[in-house]
């Protein structure tokens, strides 16, 4: 797992001091060319860029509840190094966030075979998480659930993302941060696009791109990771501009 996050340490690129500014200017220019009104308020997230497939319901159900529980259990494990009762620990964490009240209510209303199957799947994925993830040393500077907001064109367009895990110290001339997203389902084509979006957010926020972005799948214990390059960041800029253009066309 650590090797997948580290990547090729000796080949981490030096930080181009003009890269982040150039990407932001490209975004600003591209968005300013669109018919944004003075009252326009668009929030661009990973779901905006990569909408869920038709088969993926956004309504609260077992899949969404499992994802929410795995997310908080991952944060718990990285922070304190243990998971004692996955269902109880996860629900206790979700109850602290009023925005998750519907998920908590859904899980607590489960009973019989549905609850047994759900608990079994959660415990299996939690066990895989614990078996695959080592304790991260303080020198890795692990930060969980890090929220990033990047306003553009006077706040009329806002890029918004949450990183499940950030490791590494701020750049001092060489890319030094890695980002990890956690998923409880199977790999999807959209996951690569979400990694790209996370890389761009970090670049715009800190002025330096991450050296690596990864997705960890608790269902299988596998990880997909890739190095961050200029082409990856540029492709995301184009995607954001195109997505905002399409959104404006669809508005009445």
> Taking every pair of C-alpha atoms in the chain, what is the biggest distance, in angstroms?
58
- Do the Cβ atoms of 143 and 164 come closer than 8 Å? no
pLDDT for position 22: 97
30 and 68, same domain (yes or no)? no
180 and 68, same domain (yes or no)? no
Residue 251 predicted with pLDDT over 90: no
Question: What pTM did the predictor assign?
Answer: 0.91
Residue 12 predicted with pLDDT over 80: no
176 and 232, same domain (yes or no)? yes
189 and 246, same domain (yes or no)? yes
pLDDT > 90: what percent of the chain?
A: 74
What DSSP character marks residue 171? P
53 burial (CB, 10 Å; 0-12 / 13-18 / 19+) is exposed
Decide if 148 is inside a domain: yes
CA–CA dist 198, 192 (Å, integer): 10
pLDDT tens-place string over residues 217-238: 999 999 999 999 999 999 999 9
105 and 183, same domain (yes or no)? no
* Domain total in the chain: 2
Domain of 124 in residue numbering reads as: 62-132
pLDDT tens-place string over residues 39-69: 889 999 998 988 765 545 568 899 999 999 9
- Closest among 3, 1, 17, 21 to 175, alpha carbons compared: 17
Backbone angles phi, psi at 179, to 5 degrees: -115, 140
Pick the last residue of a domain from 98, 132, 166: 132
Decide if 57 is inside a domain: no
CA–CA dist 62, 56 (Å, integer): 11
158 and 79, same domain (yes or no)? no
pLDDT for position 55: 47
CA–CA dist 175, 20 (Å, integer): 13
pLDDT for position 58: 64
Q: Output the domain CATH number for residue 37.
A: 3.90.320
- Do the Cβ atoms of 216 and 194 come closer than 8 Å? no
Backbone angles phi, psi at 167, to 5 degrees: -130, 150
167 and 244, same domain (yes or no)? yes
pLDDT for position 52: 66
Decide if 143 is inside a domain: yes
Long-range contacts of 248-251 (CB under 8 A, 24+ apart): 248/34, 248/35, 248/36
């Amino acid at each position: 797992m650590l090797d997948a996050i580290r990547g090729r340490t000796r080949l981490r690129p030096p930080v181009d001091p003009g890269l982040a500014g150039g990407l932001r200017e490209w975004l600003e220019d591209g968005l300013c060319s669109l018919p944004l009104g003075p009252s326009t308020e668009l929030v661009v997230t990973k779901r905006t860029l990569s909408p869920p497939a038709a088969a993926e319901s956004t309504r609260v159900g077992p899949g969404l509840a499992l994802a929410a529980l795995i997310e908080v259990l991952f944060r718990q494990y990285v922070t304190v190094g243990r998971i004692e009762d996955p269902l109880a620990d996860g629900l206790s964490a979700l109850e602290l966030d009023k925005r998750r009240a519907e998920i908590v209510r859904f899980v607590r209303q489960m009973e019989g075979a549905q609850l047994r199957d759900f608990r079994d799947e959660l415990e299996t994925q939690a066990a895989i998480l614990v078996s695959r993830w080592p304790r991260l040393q303080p020198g890795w500077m692990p930060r969980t659930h890090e929220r990033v907001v990047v306003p553009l064109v006077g706040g009329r367009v806002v890029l918004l993302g949450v990183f499940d895990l950030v490791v590494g110290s701020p750049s001092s001339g060489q890319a030094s941060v890695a980002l990890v997203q956690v998923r409880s389902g199977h790999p999807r084509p959209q996951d690569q696009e979400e990694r790209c979006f996370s890389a761009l957010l970090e670049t715009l926020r800190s002025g330096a791109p991450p050296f690596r972005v990864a997705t960890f799948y608790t269902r299988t214990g596998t990880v997909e990771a890739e190095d961050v390059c200029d082409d990856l960041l540029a492709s995301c800029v184009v995607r954001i501009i195109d997505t905002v253009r399409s959104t404006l066309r669809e508005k009445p």
